[in-house]
Amino acid sequence: MPKDAPPNGDAWPEQIPEGEMGPRRKVSEMQAKLHRWAVADPGRRFDDLFNLVHDPATLLVAFDRVAGNRGAGTPGVDGLTVAYVEEEVGVPGFLDDLRAQLKTGIFRPLPVRERKIPKPGGSGKVRALGIPAIADRVVQAALKLVLEPLFEADFLPVSYGFRPRRRPHDAIAEIHHFGTRGYRWVLDADIEAAFDNVSHTAIMDRVRLRVKDKRVLALVKAFLKAGILTELGEHRNTYTGTPQGGILSPLIFNVVLSVLDEHVMAPWKNDGPMSTSGKRAYRRSKGRPTWRIVRYCDDFVILVHGSQADTQALREDVADVLEPLGLRLSPAKTQVVHMSDGFDFLGFRIRWKRKRGSNKWYVYTFIADRAKRSVRAKIRALTHKTSQQDFASVLKRLASIMRGWANYFKHAVAKWTFDKLDTFTWWRLVHMLRARHGWNWGQLRRHLKDGSGRWVIAAGGVEYFSLSKRMTIIRYAYRGNKIPCPWPPANPA
């Protein structure tokens, strides 16, 4: 998954007004019931879910989700886009036909279209995404609407990736919280080609723990086996893995990797040897370690209050847990590090270090070098001296890139980095203007200084977005186990 992961937004972003009816209200109530039943009976296997998947309200909400995604304009192997369906086919007719295919059992997912994109950070490596057809995306979104409330009842709070109302910043705050409490040895883990290698058998075994409906199980398996149409036009069967880019893939991966969460966190269960702060302190007084995992989809770290040897032993233990899932740790990228040396996670650089001018040590969160290189590369590409783009459009696009990047990193120790990036971008724009208009420095000053002597870069009513002036660094509040559930109980206490 991308290291500079965006916030998760799959649950409803706001409460639906009590009086509002329609598909959203119906689906939300359906999800709340499923979640409530799953929480009440941890061993329950759900049957008759297929009718919920092809329900008209579910499909309509699923289509809205697909239409609202950034990839709505990217076609799959069938060449269709959301816009084409809306304008040429008609959404009601499209969904009626899709529902009929599901009900009669003739629906078959098409192979995903492979598209390779550069990995962030300027490494030169590429990541293969799988782009499903529009109909497949809608069905996957419908499946997720039905299955997510069931599995959310079982997921542990140490998992943050692609879960409703959870953000990468929650994972970073968790690391900061435990790092300041003595968990200073870190297993910084990387699973090798996780989405490509995860075992289909392991996936289906975990899904069956909650799902009894054979039609839903067959649909999930069909998406796993749909195959890939490569960029060279070759069809490749998929015997393992779930394609990155599929709407259902992150949920499926969280389901299967919850095996790891449960194994590592087993001592934290009620009555376990790490279930209370007193028990954890007693273990450490006897020279035995305590640990805690923090996972964001396929990226995870294990924080250890113990020694380097204890952390190394956990590495071997984790490898044994992953093996039956078809996964293995990357020997090159998985490392045991002390927090004083620092490590990168989700675009941040986390390090335990001495505060300047004092003898006190704190856990600091900085912006990782790769994230800086990534945003600089985007700015360079947009502000080339020979570019003929409309300058107002350049400023708008720059503002979008920088605002989004800064909003993600504004909770880090970032002021100096924001200032440096501001200076870098300002000079890129200055050199772009000089080359475009042939201005010397005197002419540049006359054009860019206003009546008060302030430098202003603007065009078409759009002013340059200055990070140092517009963005405020604020500390992210650690939420721990207080992250709200998107499906509250019917009668909350």
Quick: pLDDT tens for 255-270: 999 999 999 999 999 9
Judge whether residue 11 has pLDDT over 70: no
pLDDT band at 468 (very low <50, low <70, confident <90, very high): confident
Q: Which residue has 């058998």 as its token pair?
A: 201
In this structure, are residues 292 and 157 in contact, taking their beta carbons and an 8 Å threshold? no
DSSP 323: G
Ordered DSSP codes for 67-103 = HHSGGGGS--TT---HHHIIIII-HHHHHHHHHHHHH
Judge whether residue 121 has pLDDT over 70: no
Q: Beta 235-236 vs 228-229: how paired, if at all?
A: antiparallel
pLDDT band at 490 (very low <50, low <70, confident <90, very high): low
pLDDT band at 125 (very low <50, low <70, confident <90, very high): confident
pLDDT digits (tens, 9 = 90+) for 405-459: 999 999 999 999 999 999 999 999 999 999 999 999 888 888 888 878 788 898 8
pLDDT digits (tens, 9 = 90+) for 26-62: 999 999 999 999 999 999 999 999 999 999 999 999 9
In this structure, are residues 195 and 256 in contact, taking their beta carbons and an 8 Å threshold? no
In this structure, are residues 77 and 112 in contact, taking their beta carbons and an 8 Å threshold? yes
pLDDT band at 120 (very low <50, low <70, confident <90, very high): low
Order of strands, edge to edge, in the sheet holding 361-367?
Answer: 343-345, 348-354, 361-367
Query: What are the structure tokens assigned to 168, written together?
Result: 């990468």
In this structure, are residues 223 and 109 in contact, taking their beta carbons and an 8 Å threshold? yes
State the average pLDDT over residues 315-333. Answer: 96
Measured CA to CA, the distance from residue 444 to residue 463 in angstroms comes to 16
403 contact partners, CB below 8 Å, separation of at least 6:
465, 470, 471
Judge whether residue 184 has pLDDT over 60: yes
Judge whether residue 150 has pLDDT over 90: yes
- Counting every residue written for the chain, the total comes to 493
116 contact partners, CB below 8 Å, separation of at least 6:
126, 127, 128, 129, 231
Judge whether residue 10 has pLDDT over 80: no
Q: Taking the model in full, what pTM does it have?
A: 0.91
| Best CA proximity match to 338, nearest among 358, 318, 309 | 309
Q: Identify any residues that bridge with 458 across adjacent strands, giving them in sequence order.
A: 463
Q: Beta 299-305 vs 290-296: how paired, if at all?
A: antiparallel
Give the pLDDT score at 12. 43
Measured CA to CA, the distance from residue 403 to residue 410 in angstroms comes to 10
Query: What are the structure tokens assigned to 216, written together?
Result: 């839903």
Give the pLDDT score at 19. 43
| Best CA proximity match to 303, nearest among 179, 181, 191, 180 | 179
Measured CA to CA, the distance from residue 374 to residue 121 in angstroms comes to 4
Domain ranges of the chain: 20-165+192-259, 369-463
Looking at every residue in the chain, the average pLDDT score rounds to: 91
Query: What are the structure tokens assigned to 163, written together?
Result: 């879960």
Measured CA to CA, the distance from residue 119 to residue 114 in angstroms comes to 15
φ/ψ of residue 316, rounded to 5: -65, -40
pLDDT digits (tens, 9 = 90+) for 360-405: 999 999 999 999 999 999 999 999 988 889 999 999 999 999 999 9
Cα–Cα separations (whole angstroms), residue 243 to 32, 132, 193, 370, 389: 29, 9, 11, 25, 35
DSSP 382: H
pLDDT band at 7 (very low <50, low <70, confident <90, very high): very low
Judge whether residue 1 has pLDDT over 60: no
| Best CA proximity match to 421, nearest among 389, 464, 478 | 464
